[in-house]
Structure 1
Amino acid sequence: MAAVVVLSLGLFSLRNVWPIAQVSAPGSTTALHFETRHGEQLSRRLPDNSVLHLNTDSAITIRFGKTERLVTLTSGQADFEVAHDPERAFRVFAGSAEVVAIGTKFDVRLEHDSTVVTVVEGRVAVGPSPMLERLGTHSSQNHSPRFVQLGADQQIRVAADEWPATPTAVDAQRTTAWLHRQIVFDQEPLERVAAEFNRYAPKPIEIATPALRNLEISGVFATDDTEAFIAFLRSLTGVRVEVTMTRIRVSRDPGVAAPDYT
C-alpha cells in the first residue's frame, strides 16, 4: 500500500554563489578545499567560472593547473556546472569513479559501496578510478572500455568490483532536487526515505517496527523541515511517531488496526 504526499514548497536556492577572491596566474596551480557539516549546503563560483554546489556532509578539493582541472570528492555529494574550456579537461575523482567533462552539468554522489554519477546537461565520460587498477581491484586487461559516455538524464553507478557498468535513464531534476533543498520520492520504501532524511535531520529517524520499512512513500519534502515529514507520518493509519531528545522513533500503533505494509 503506497502512502502519497505532495507538499507545496516554494523553490528557494542554496546560499549565494560567492566568487573566489584569489585567482591563479596563468600557468600556476591553485588548490581550493571546501567542506560542509551535517545539514549544511554551499555554493561557490570557481576561478575558471565553473560553479560548485556541495551537499550535506561533503568534502572536496579542487586543483587548477595549466592543462587540466582536478577535483577530488572525498565524501558526500556535489553538483558541477562546468565552464567550457577545451584546453583544460575537468576531471573528478570520487571513490571508485573518474568523471571527465569539458563543459556540462552533472552530479556525483559517494555511497558506501559505489559512486553514482548523474548527467543533467551535456555529456561526460565515466570510468573506474585509476587507483582501482593500482590496487588490483580493476584490471585494464579485462578488455572493458576505459570510459562510458553519458548524456543528459542518464545515470551510472560505479562499484569497485563491477565494470563495465550500464547507464540508466533517470529524471536528473529529481536527482538534483537537493539543490532546492528538496528530496523527491516515488513509491520508495520508508527505510530508504528515512536514510535520506537522516542526511539532513538534526535527529535520526529510527524505524522500530520492521514491517514499516517497506511502507511506500511518494512525495516532495523539504530537507530542512523534518517537522512536516513527522506530521505526514503521524497522518498514516496505524503509524506512531515518538520524538525524543535524541531521535525520532517510528513504530506501528498497537491500538489501531493498520493495513499490511509488508
Structure 2
Amino acid sequence: MRRADSEAADWAAKMHGSLTEAERAAFAAWHAKPGHADAYAEAEEHYVLGASMSRQRIGARARPSQSAPRQLRWAVAAVAAVSIAIGFAWHLGKPGDVEQIAAGPMLPGQLRLADGSTVTLMDGAWAEPQFTTSERRVRLHGGRARFEVAHDANRPFIVVAGRSETVALGTVFEIDAREAIPKVTLVKGSVEVRLSGTGHSLRLAPGERAEVSDTGPRLLPEMANPVPATMLAANNLPLGAVLDAANKTGGKPIRLDDPALASLPVTGRFDVADGDSLARKLAAALGLSAEDKGNEIILRKK
C-alpha cells in the first residue's frame, strides 16, 4: 500500500475525534499535497453500517486488507463494520456517557443523529454531536450546516459555533460558521441565539437572521432578495439527500428508477419545493432523464 494511502486512512479515522487546532492545520497541509486529496477521498469510499456510523472509521480499518484477494478484503471489511457497531452500541449504553460522532471536513452530506435529527453539512463543515441524558449538544466547526431538529421537550438541542449557542426544541435552522462571527437563519419554528457564558440572548422568528459577536447576538436586516426557506445549497451532496429534502415539502415526489443513483454527487442551489424545475435541473446536471408520471417524477439513466 502506498504511503499516501496509509496516511489517508489514518487521517480519515482521526477526523472522527476531537482535533486540536494544530491537528486540523496539519491535516490541511497534508491534504494540500499532490495526490493526497484523491487518497483521502478514496479512504472514505467504504460502506457505512448504520445511520450514525462513519464510513471513514470502517474504511480506515478495512484498508490494510486491500492487498488481499477481493473475497478476503470484503470479509475483513464486514468484520470491522460489525466490531465497530458492537462497540458503538456498548458506548451508547453506558449511563451518563457522551456520544462522540463526527463528520470529516472533506465529507459534505447528511448526518442522521441518534435522536432522529438530521444535519446537512456544506462548505467543508464538520460536526461533533455530544448527547447526554439531559441535553443534545452539537459542536459545528467551519462551513455551513442546516439542522432539522427532532422534538424532545426534555432535552434541548444546542448547537455551538464559536462563542455562539443556538437552542431549539424542534425546528429547522441554518448556521454559517465560515467566518469568525457565526450567523444563524431560522427557517421554521423558534430558536434562542445567545453568547456562550453570558446572559445575552435573542429569540428569532421564521425568516429572521442574527449574528453572534463578542458583544452578544444582534438581529440582521432583511436581505433585499430573501432566499426562500426551501432553497437548498448543495456542495457534493448525495442525490438521495437532495430528493429527501424535496419530497418533504409536499410537492410532486421525485423517485429514482435505480437506487444506486442516490449516491451521485450534486452541487448547486435548488428550490426543492419546485419539483418539476428541480427534476429538470438534476437530470441536465447528472445526465439523467426525467419522466413525469402525473403523480410523481422518475429520474433514470438515459
TM-score (norm 2): 0.46
Q: Please state how far the C-alpha of 1:171 moved relative to its aligned partner.
A: 3.0
1:19 to 33, 40, 51: 51
Q: Please state how far the C-alpha of 1:77 moved relative to its aligned partner.
A: 1.2
Q: Please state how far the C-alpha of 1:94 moved relative to its aligned partner.
A: 0.3
Work out the number of aligned pairs and report it.
156
Residue 114 in structure 1 maps to residue 168 in structure 2: no
Tell me the alpha carbon deviations over residues 218-239 of structure 1, each in whole angstroms, 9 at most, x when there is no partner.
xxx99xx8xxxxxxxxxxxxxx
Q: Contact (CA 8 Å) 1:107, 1:176: kept in 2 or not?
A: no
C-alpha change, 1:177 and 1:58, in structure 2 (3 Å) is: closer
Tell me the alpha carbon deviations over residues 98-144 of structure 1, each in whole angstroms, 9 at most, x when there is no partner.
100111111111132310101111110001122xx6xxxxxx5xxxx
Please give the root-mean-square deviation of Cα atoms over the aligned residues, in Å.
Answer: 2.9
Amino acid aligned to 1:127 = R
Residue 30 in structure 1 maps to residue 86 in structure 2: no
Deviates more, 1:55-64 or 1:171-180: 171-180
Amino acid aligned to 1:46 = L
Q: Contact (CA 8 Å) 1:60, 1:73: kept in 2 or not?
A: yes
Tell me the alpha carbon deviations over residues 153-177 of structure 1, each in whole angstroms, 9 at most, x when there is no partner.
111122224x341244443537643
Amino acid aligned to 2:219 = T
Residue 177 in structure 1 maps to residue 233 in structure 2: yes
Q: Contact (CA 8 Å) 1:70, 1:90: kept in 2 or not?
A: yes
Alpha-carbon separation, structure 2, partners of 1:97 and 1:172 = 24
Q: Contact (CA 8 Å) 1:96, 1:158: kept in 2 or not?
A: yes
Alpha-carbon separation, structure 2, partners of 1:75 and 1:111 = 5
Residue 159 in structure 1 maps to residue 181 in structure 2: no
Q: Please state how far the C-alpha of 1:183 moved relative to its aligned partner.
A: 3.6
1:30 match: secondary structure: coil
Residue 56 in structure 1 maps to residue 109 in structure 2: no
TM-score (norm 1): 0.52
1:101 to 149, 152, 168: 168
Q: Contact (CA 8 Å) 1:154, 1:172: kept in 2 or not?
A: no
Q: Please state how far the C-alpha of 1:27 moved relative to its aligned partner.
A: 4.4
Amino acid aligned to 1:65 = T
Q: Which runs of 5+ in 1 are unaligned?
A: 1-15, 134-139, 141-145, 185-220, 226-262
Q: Which runs of 5+ in 2 are unaligned?
A: 1-47, 54-87, 243-266, 271-280, 286-302
Alpha-carbon separation, structure 1, partners of 2:151 and 2:230 = 25
Residue 72 in structure 1 maps to residue 131 in structure 2: no
2:219 match: secondary structure: coil
Percent identity between matched residues is 28
Q: Contact (CA 8 Å) 2:210, 2:217: kept in 1 or not?
A: no
Q: Please state how far the C-alpha of 1:78 moved relative to its aligned partner.
A: 1.1
Alpha-carbon separation, structure 1, partners of 2:171 and 2:125 = 21
Amino acid aligned to 2:98 = T
Residue 149 in structure 1 maps to residue 203 in structure 2: yes
Tell me the alpha carbon deviations over residues 174-232 of structure 1, each in whole angstroms, 9 at most, x when there is no partner.
76433753248xxxxxxxxxxxxxxxxxxxxxxxxxxxxxxxxxxxx99xx8xxxxxxx
Amino acid aligned to 1:34 = A
Amino acid aligned to 1:117 = V
Amino acid aligned to 1:182 = G
Equivalent residue, structure 2, for 1:246: none
Alpha-carbon separation, structure 1, partners of 2:177 and 2:136 = 20
Q: Contact (CA 8 Å) 1:57, 1:75: kept in 2 or not?
A: yes
Alpha-carbon separation, structure 1, partners of 2:98 and 2:139 = 15
Equivalent residue, structure 2, for 1:205: none
Q: Contact (CA 8 Å) 1:83, 1:104: kept in 2 or not?
A: yes
Q: Contact (CA 8 Å) 2:135, 2:157: kept in 1 or not?
A: yes
The structure whose residues are more often strand, as a share, is 1
